């Protein structure tokens, strides 16, 4: 299951070129590469973060919410975080959901400096509390330790 070699190929299909031409968001670039072995399309930003994502240190008590986009992920994040934190609604009201359950591959979705990605991943690594993550990555692109440390 674990991918050891991640490769990239530029998307050259006509629809991909049309999307890149018409979707000119300075924050959310259109997909421009196919990542193998998963075969999924991603932004070119993924290329610069792929190794860091793959080598991210996993803990056995981490909780990963892995889903397809737009299928109830936000609701699931809230529910899972509350269950994992003894229904602490007061804390949930005080901390935004994206801080309680960060979007793991966000640096590859939205344009941000590479140092920001490093800072995000470094800060996640330094957390002393149980960590919760949201991801839309395919199983081949998850951190390699997911398969050996076996988080929830």
- The CA distances from residue 98 to 78, 101, 103, 123, in Å, are 10, 5, 7, 14
Look at the block and give the residue holding tokens 């986009």.
69
Rounded distance, CA 67 to CA 46, Å? 18
Closest CA to 136 of 40, 68, 77, 81: 68
Rounded distance, CA 75 to CA 17, Å? 34
Which of the residues 49, 100, 134, 136 is marked catalytic?
136
C-alpha angle 4-102-118 in degrees, rounded to nearest 5: 60
Rounded distance, CA 135 to CA 130, Å? 17
Clarify whether 136 is annotated catalytic: yes
CB 32 within 8 A of CB 43: yes
List residues with catalytic annotation.
Answer: 136
């Amino acid at each position: 299951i674990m991918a050891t070699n991640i490769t990239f190929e530029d998307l050259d299909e006509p629809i991909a070129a049309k999307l890149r031409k018409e979707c000119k968001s300075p924050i959310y670039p259109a997909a421009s590469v196919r990542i193998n072995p998963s075969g999924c399309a991603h932004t070119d930003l993924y290329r610069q973060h792929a190794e860091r994502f793959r080598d991210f240190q996993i803990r056995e008590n981490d909780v990963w919410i892995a889903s397809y986009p737009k299928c109830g992920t936000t609701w699931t994040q809230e529910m899972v975080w509350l269950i994992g934190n003894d229904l602490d609604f007061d804390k949930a009201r005080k901390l935004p959901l994206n801080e309680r359950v960060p979007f793991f591959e966000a640096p590859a979705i939205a344009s941000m400096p590479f140092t920001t990605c490093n800072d995000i991943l470094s800060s996640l690594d330094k957390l002393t509390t149980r960590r919760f993550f949201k991801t839309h990555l395919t199983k081949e692109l998850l951190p390699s330790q997911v398969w050996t440390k076996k988080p929830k």
